[in-house]
Structure 1
Amino acid sequence: MNSSTSSSEVSSETAWRRFAIFLLAVTAVAVVGIIAAAYVIDPYDTGRSRLFARDGVRPQGPRTANASRGRDPSYDSAIFGNSQIQLLSPERLNQRTGFNFLQLAVPATGPKEHFVLIDWFLKHRTGPVKALVVDSDETWCTSDPAMPNFRPFPFWLYAANPLEYAKGLMRYDILEELPRRLGYVFGKKPERARPDGYWDYEPNYLNLGYDTRPEIRARLEKPYYASEPTFERDPKEGQRTFPVADKLKELAGSLPPETALIVVHPARYKNYLPPPGTEEWYQDKACKMAMKAALSGHSRSAVVDWRIDRPENRNADYFFDLSHYRQPIAMAIEADIAKALQGLN
C-alpha cells in the first residue's frame, strides 16, 4: 500500500514539474515573440527597424515622440530643455535665423534627460548642425554627479545598446502601442504628431483660469524664497561644484567649429529670483559662472540670461506662474537668441 502510494505521488510530482516547465517555456517564447514583434514594428519610430516604416508617429507626449522627431534629417538645429523653454517657437526662430529648428523640450525634465536627447539628435544628423539651444534652469545647478531625474523618462528608448532597448520593450504599454503604430502605418490619412515638436501651453493655462482666477494670480506675489540673513561674500566660495557644467564642457568640446551652442537661462517672475546676498543667490551666480566657463572652449557659443531682474520679469501679465511665461517673453527670448547667433558669425 505504501509502495503504491509513493509511486503515485512521484508520478504526480513529475507531471506537475513537467507542466510547470511547459508553462515557463510557453511564457518565455511568448515574451521573446512579443519583444521581437515590437522590435520589428518599432512602435515609436526609432529607426531600428524599417519593415513598418512611416515618417513620424501618432500624437503623443514628447517623451516618446521625440525619438522619431530627433531622427528627422530635415532639421539642422534644435531646442532642448523642459517646459521653461517649451514656448520658444521653431517657426519664429526659423524666420529670424534662416535655420530649421526642431523643438525637443520635454516638460518636467532635467539635465540628464536633456543630454540624452542632445546625443540622440546629434547621432542622427546627416548634414552639418547649425545650432543647439539648451535650457539651463535650476536643475542644472545640482551638485549630484548622477544628475537625478524626478519624473519617469524612457531612457531605454534612446539607448545606443540594442539589448537595453529590447529590455525596455518589456512593458505593458508596448502592447497597447503596437496596434496603434500599425494603425498609423497602414492608415490612409492618420493624424500625425507635429513634426517640429512645438507645443503651445498657453491654451491649457488659460482654460484653467491662470490669467483670471484671483487665488491663482495671488500666488505670483508670494516670494518663493524665505527671508534669510544676507552675506557680504559667498559663504561657500570655492566649494561649490556643478557636475552638469562638466557635461556641458564635454558637449562643447565635441561640437564642430561651425555649430553654435546657445545656453539659455529661462525667465523667472520677480518673486522667483533669489534675493541678492542670500545662499540661493550665490548658488545661482556660481552656477551661471560655471556654465559660462564650460562654453569657453567652443568659439561659437553664447549665453542668453533671462533669469535676472528685468522689467519684463516684473510684469505679472507676462506670467502664468513663477516659472512659466507667456508669448511676449518667449518672443523676446527668441529675439535674443537670434541676436546671439548673429553675433557669432
Structure 2
Amino acid sequence: MRADPPASAEAAWRGFSVRLVAAAVLLLLGYLALALAVDPYDTGRPRLLDRDGVRPQGPRTATASRGRDPAYAAAIVGNSHIQLIKPANLREATGLPFVQLAVPGTGPGEQLLIANYFLRHHPRARALVIGADSFWCTGDSALPMQRPFPAWLLAEDWASYLRGLLRVRVVGEVVNRIGWALRTAPRRAAPDGYWDYEPDYLALGDPDMPARVASRAKQAPADPDPGEGGPDFPAAASLRALAGRLSPDTALVLVFPPVFAATKARSGTPRAAAEAACRAALAGAVAPRGRVVDWSGDRPESHDSSLFFDASHYRQPLARRIEADIAAALREAGATGTDAPRP
C-alpha cells in the first residue's frame, strides 16, 4: 500500500521549486543587465563603463568596436588575403581615414555582414574596399561561414545580441572588460585594425627555405573541380545588393588579390574558366560605379616566389604595390579627404 506524502510536504516542494526558478531568472536578468552595462566588446549598446575600444584580441570580436568607430570614414573588408593592406598608407595617399576590418578565415558571408555593419554605422562612408578571393566563387547560396564567427555581435536586432551575451566565453569577457576598463592606461587593441601577419609567418620558418619554395612551386591540379558556382554566383548577387544600397558619396573598390603563378589554374581548364566567370560576375556586380583592382592575372610579380609566403599569402613589398593601385582607383573615383597629399 503506497502512502501519499502529506500536503504540507507537497506545498514545501512546490514553494522551493518556485523560488529556485525565480532565483535563476533573477540571476539571468542580473547578468544580462551587467553585460549590457559593461558592453564587453564595445558595440555601443547601453553601457556604464565609458571606455572606447577593446583590450588586445582577435579581429573576430574586435570588429564590432572598430566597425562603429566614428573616427573612420572608409573601410577595408576581407580576410587574410587583403589583411596586409595598411589603412595608414591609404590614408596618406587619399586623405581618407581607413579602418582595416579584415578577419582571417572568413568568406563572403561574414565579410558582407561586416561591410553592412560598417555602413550601418557610417551611412555616408567615403569608401569601401572589398577583397574578393576564391571563397567568393562558391555556388552555395547560403554563403556558409568558413569558421565559427560571432555574427550576433554585428546583429542589428536586440534578440540576437542578448542571446549572444549568454555564451560562456562572453561571461569571461564581461569580467575581463571590467578589470581592463578600471585600469588607468589599459593596453588597447589597434584602433585601425591593422595586423601585420608577416612576423607570424616568419616565425614558422624562412619563406625561402627549400621546402617552402617547393610547396609554392606545386602546379595546380590537371583536372580541378569545375563546380565553382556555375553560371550564377550567389556572392555576386549579394555584392550587387550591397552596392545598390551605398550612398552616392561612397566609393567602392573591389580587389582581386594575387595568387602565386605556379598554383593557378592552367589556361583552358574548367577551373580556369569558372574562376574567370566568377571574377566577371563580381566585377559586374559593382559596375558601373565601382572600381576593380585585379591582381589575379599573370603579372611578373606573381612569378616571384620571394613575394609570397605560400600560394595565396603575399608579402609586404607586394602589399605596397596593391595599395598604390587601390589609392589610384579611389582618386579616380573622386574619393579623397581634406588631408590628401597634393598632386
**TM-score in same-fold range (> 0.5):** yes
After superposing the two structures, state which structure 1 stretch, 285-294 or 23-32, moved more: 23-32
**TM-score (normalised: structure 1):** 0.91
Partner of 2:68: 71
> Secondary structure of the residue that 2:79 maps to in structure 1?
coil
Cα deviation code 1:238-289 (max 9, x no counterpart): 9511111111111111112221100001111112311111111111110111
Aligned residues of 1:143 and 1:240 also touching (Cα < 8 A): no
Q: Which residue of 2 aligns with 1:226?
A: 221
Secondary structure (helix, strand or coil) at the match of 1:286 reads: helix
Q: SS in structure 1 opposite 2:4?
A: helix
What CA distance in whole angstroms lies between the structure 1 residues aligned with 2:171 and 2:302? 46
Instruction: Report the Cα distance in structure 2 between the residues aligned to 1:342 and 1:259, rounded to whole angstroms.
Output: 12
Asked which structure has the greater RCO (Cα within 8 Å, sep 6+), the reply is 2
Contact 1:273–1:308 (8 Å) recurs in 2: no
Q: What's 1:318 paired with?
A: 307
- Is residue 2:264 matched to residue 1:269? no
> What one-letter code is carried by the residue in structure 2 that aligns with 1:313?
S
Does 1:61 find its partner at 2:58?
yes
Helix, strand or coil at the partner of 2:5: helix
Deviations 1:2-30 (A, max 9, x none): 57x3335x765654454344333322221
1:327 aligned partner, one-letter code: Q
SS at match of 1:6: coil
Residue 293 of structure 1, CA deviation: 1.1
Following superposition, the deviation at residue 211 of structure 1 comes to 1.6
Does structure 1 conserve the Cα–Cα contact (< 8 Å) formed by 2:116 and 2:242?
A: no
Contact 1:86 1:200 in 2 (8 A): yes
Cα distance in 2 between the residues matched to 1:210 and 1:122: 40
> Is contact 2:90-2:96 (8 Å) kept?
yes
Q: Is the Cα–Cα contact under 8 Å of residues 36 and 47 in structure 2 kept in the other structure? A: no
Work out whether residues 273 and 307 of structure 1, in 8 Å CA contact, stay in contact via their aligned partners in 2: no
Query: Which is worse superposed, 251-260 or 131-140?
Result: 251-260
1:194 paired to 2:190: yes
Once the two structures are TM-superposed, the CA of residue 87 in structure 1 deviates from its matched residue by 0.4
Match of 1:82 among 74, 79, 84: 79
Aligned match of 1:51 = 48
Pick aligned residue for 1:152 from 128, 148, 164: 148
The 3 A distance-change label for structure 1 pair 27 and 270 is same
Q: Out of 37, 40, 45, which is 2:37 matched to?
A: 40
1:117 alignment partner, SS class: helix
Q: Return the alpha-carbon distance in structure 2 between the equivalents of residues 288 and 239 of structure 1.
A: 12
The residue that corresponds to 2:251 in the other structure is: 260
Q: Which amino acid aligns with 2:141?
A: P
- Tell me if structure 1 keeps the 8 A contact 2:74–2:128: yes
Q: Describe the shift of the 1:214–1:26 C-alpha distance in structure 2 as closer, same or farther (beyond 3 A).
A: farther
1:124-135 paired onto structure 2 within 5 Å:
124-125=121-122, 128-135=124-131
For 1:55 and 1:255, locate their aligned partners in 2 and report how far apart those are by CA, in whole Å.
27
String of CA shifts for 1:143-167, please: whole Å, max 9, x gaps.
1111001200001011110111001
Provide the secondary structure at the position in 1 that maps to 2:282.
Answer: helix
Q: Where in structure 2 are the equivalents of 1:5-20 lying within 5 Å?
A: 5-8=3-6, 15-20=12-17
Q: How many residues align?
A: 333
Q: Give, in angstroms, the shift of residue 303 of structure 1.
A: 0.6
> 1:180, CA displacement in angstroms?
1.5
Provide the rounded CA distance (Å) in 1 between the counterparts of 2:87 and 2:282.
24
Query: What is the letter of the counterpart of residue 126 of structure 2?
Result: K
Q: 1:342: Cα distance to partner? A: 2.1
Per mean C-alpha deviation after superposition, the further-off stretch among 170-179 and 79-88 is: 170-179
Q: Which residue of 1 aligns with 2:316?
A: 327
Q: Which runs of 5+ in 2 are unaligned?
A: 335-343
Counterpart residue type for residue 31 of structure 2: I
Aligned in 2, Cα 1:239/1:80: closer, same or farther, shift over 3 Å? closer
**Equivalent pair of 1:58/1:191 in contact (CA under 8 Å):** yes
Conserved? CA contact 1:156–1:164, under 8 Å: yes
Partner of residue 23, structure 2: 26
Name the residue aligned to 1:303: 292
- C-alpha separation between the residues in 2 aligned to 1:90 and 1:209? 27
Match of 1:175 among 171, 176, 180: 171
- State the distance in 1 between where 2:52 and 2:230 align: 49
Q: CA RMSD in A?
A: 2.1
